[in-house]
Amino acid sequence: MSAAFDVPLVLGMMRLHEARDLQDPERLADWIEARLDQGLDWFDHADIYGDGQGETLFGAALKSRPGLAQRVRIITKASIITPQRDASGYAVKHYDASPAYLGAAIDAALARLGVERLDHFLLHRPDPLMDAEATGRVLDDAVAAGKIAAAGVSNFLPEQWRRLQGAMHHKLAVHQLELSLGHSTPLFDGSYDALLRDGLAPLAWSPLGGGSVFEDRLGRVLTAEAEAHGCSPGALALAWLRRLPGGPVPVVGTLKPERLEALLQAPEPALAPPPWYALLEAARCHRVA
């Protein structure tokens, strides 16, 4: 399944609505074209990113440049209701995996982005109130209707995605999870092995730990190893991830071209086990058992 993501990283659009220099559709289209020239054609959205503004801006850029929509591949996510978007009167953050909400979310994303099909549509967070049969049916129907190429999940535990998968005809394709040197728990609690066993392509969100991988002892070890490997600390942290079985693809939130270029300079050859474990040890502050 991971062959669909034959790219070094996925571009996360969570901050697009905050990037003032990319608000103009033509300038954003230029930025997208430049990323495509780098071999980066996957863009990760969600309906809560700027309350739909991210998808709207991206859609306006695609509309301004004929043919651009056919060259990009789009992931988007839904199921999180922020307090500001809660129409119930409670103003409470919650999750909604109901068919009515997800069906409307898919249609709204297609409209904002101005595309005919989403390459991947993910449930952003697991909803404890999810009716797996009903949720599975709306996802299957969206695939059958050609609205989404494939469905997936984000932040699910194995039994949560298996309950959903058991109610579906189509195969869940993707699991987007938090994974980095700063958050390696899925490698030791069985959840990463479970997604590989179940054939889900792993996408790693916050692959640099929100910058925490550059701090303290880990930051010092990462910097020294990066110098030894002839790349940036960020590129080495991503290479550490890609070294795992299944080759998890990092979802990177920066929009700065120079930062992206530095992250693409992967070390050659791939990390050998000793430096890989040395970075893990520095991250966890203890040796493996």
Q: Give the closest residue to 179 by CA, choosing from 238, 245, 224.
A: 238
Residue matched to tokens 């049916």 = 137
Mean pLDDT on 92-101: 98
What pLDDT, on a 0 to 100 scale, did the predictor assign at position 81?
97
- Set out the domains of the chain in order of their start, with CATH numbers: 2-178 (3.20.20.100)
Which amino acid, residue 237? A
What pLDDT, on a 0 to 100 scale, did the predictor assign at position 1?
37
What pLDDT, on a 0 to 100 scale, did the predictor assign at position 2?
40
SS (H, E, C) the chain: CHHHHCCCCEEECCCHHHCHHHCCHHHHHHHHHHHHHCCCCEEECCCCCCCCHHHHHHHHHHHHCCCCCCCCEEEEEECEECHHHCCCCCCCCEECCCHHHHHHHHHHHHHHHCCCCECEEEECCCCCCCCHHHHHHHHHHHHHCCCECCEEEECCCHHHHHHHHCCCCCCCCEEEEECECCECHHHCCCHHHHHHHCCCEEEEECCCHHHHHHCHHHHHHHHHHHHHHCCCHHHHHHHHHHCCCCCCEEEECCCCHHHHHHHCCCCCCCCCHHHHHHHHHHHHCCCCC
Confidence of residue 3 (pLDDT cuts 50, 70, 90): very low
How far apart CA 234 and CA 266 sit, in angstroms, is 9
pLDDT, tens digit, 9 for 90 and up, residues 34-44: 999 999 999 99
Q: What is the rounded average pLDDT for all residues in the chain?
A: 96
Residue matched to tokens 């990462």 = 222
- b or e along 240-249 (b: 16 or more beta carbons within 10 Å of the residue's beta carbon)? bbbbbebebb
Dihedral pair phi/psi, residue 267, rounded to 5°: -70, 145
Q: Give the closest residue to 154 by CA, choosing from 134, 126, 132, 119.
A: 126
pLDDT, tens digit, 9 for 90 and up, residues 156-195: 999 999 999 999 999 999 999 999 999 999 999 999 999 9
Question: For the whole model, what pTM was predicted?
Answer: 0.96
What pLDDT, on a 0 to 100 scale, did the predictor assign at position 6?
85
What pLDDT, on a 0 to 100 scale, did the predictor assign at position 4?
66
What pLDDT, on a 0 to 100 scale, did the predictor assign at position 128?
98
pLDDT, tens digit, 9 for 90 and up, residues 118-134: 999 999 999 999 999 99
Mean pLDDT on 243-254: 97
* Residues involved in catalysis: 49
What pLDDT, on a 0 to 100 scale, did the predictor assign at position 209?
96
Check whether 136 has a pLDDT greater than 50: yes
What pLDDT, on a 0 to 100 scale, did the predictor assign at position 13?
98
Check whether 203 has a pLDDT greater than 80: yes
How far apart CA 42 and CA 31 sit, in angstroms, is 13
Mean pLDDT on 97-120: 98
